[in-house]
Structure 1
């Protein structure tokens, strides 16, 4: 079952967000220690009004266990959603590179992180979360859904292409090269 996340989901969802972000989570926070990284993302997941908030997250739950998550939001609101997070890590963890660039664009509903627990991968959970993200975008009145996928992640690219996402352009983001893929809602 896919449902909106709640603050109580933090323990299961935060590792999924960090898994989806990979090395970007460390770059964004300037933190190497996994425990501290989890504390930071847990703090923000449980708050409203930021990019990693539970209010911007859907979860896939089975038998009371969260097996997947999707973090998404209006791409035009990214600067305001990211600001509390960046201010916090700058103050508490001496991150000086606050100009990370933007991975999304105004006018699109952005699928920020899509993640499935490694024990549940290959069961179609990611695809179901993406479909729910597209439905969420449509309910909010968006006509375009966007995401970034690393150029060196052909499995994810194949999945998105099968779901009718197309490469719009390439983006440099936090030292990596990504395909910016979009889905048009009819």
Structure 2
């Protein structure tokens, strides 16, 4: 079952968000210690009005266990949603994010992190979360759904293409090269 997240889901969801981000979690936070990264994301998941808030997260739950998560939001609001996160990192970890760049843009509902527990992969959970994200975008009145996928992640690229996403352009983000993919809503 897919449902909106709540602050009570923090312990199960934050590892999924960090898993989806991979090396970007360390780059974004400017922190090497995995436990501190976990604490940072837990803090923000429980708060409102930020990029990684429970408010921007849908979950796939089965028999009381969270097996997947999708974090998404209006791309035009990225800078506003990211600001509390960056201010916190600057204050507590002396991080300087002046050249971070943006992964999304106005005019699209952005699927930021899509993650499935490794023990539950291959069962269609990711597809269900993506479809739920597309439906969420429709409900909010968006016409485009966007996401980034690393250029060398052929498995994810194929999944998104099979679901109707098309490569719009290539994007440099935090030192990596990504396909910016878009799904047009009818």
Specify the TM-score bucket, using the shorter chain as the normaliser.
Answer: over 0.9
Q: Deviations over 1:1-36 (max 9, x none)?
A: 000000000000000000000000000111111111
CA distance in structure 2 between the partners assigned to 1:35 and 1:25 by the alignment: 12
2:53 matched residue in structure 1: 53
- Give structure 1 stretches of 5+ with no counterpart: none
In the TM superposition, residue 178 of structure 1 has moved relative to its aligned partner by 0.2
CA distance in structure 2 between the partners assigned to 1:103 and 1:33 by the alignment: 24
Q: Deviations over 1:97-124 (max 9, x none)?
A: 3331000010000000000000000000
Q: Does 1:6 align with 2:40?
A: no
2:100 matched residue in structure 1: 100
In the TM superposition, residue 79 of structure 1 has moved relative to its aligned partner by 0.2
- Three-state SS of the structure 2 residue aligned to 1:69 is strand
1:62 matched residue in structure 2: 62
Q: How many residues align?
A: 186
TM value normalised by structure 2: 0.99
CA distance in structure 1 between the partners assigned to 2:97 and 2:53 by the alignment: 22
CA distance in structure 1 between the partners assigned to 2:119 and 2:32 by the alignment: 25
Q: Does 1:34 align with 2:34?
A: yes
CA distance in structure 2 between the partners assigned to 1:119 and 1:94 by the alignment: 36
In the TM superposition, residue 96 of structure 1 has moved relative to its aligned partner by 1.3
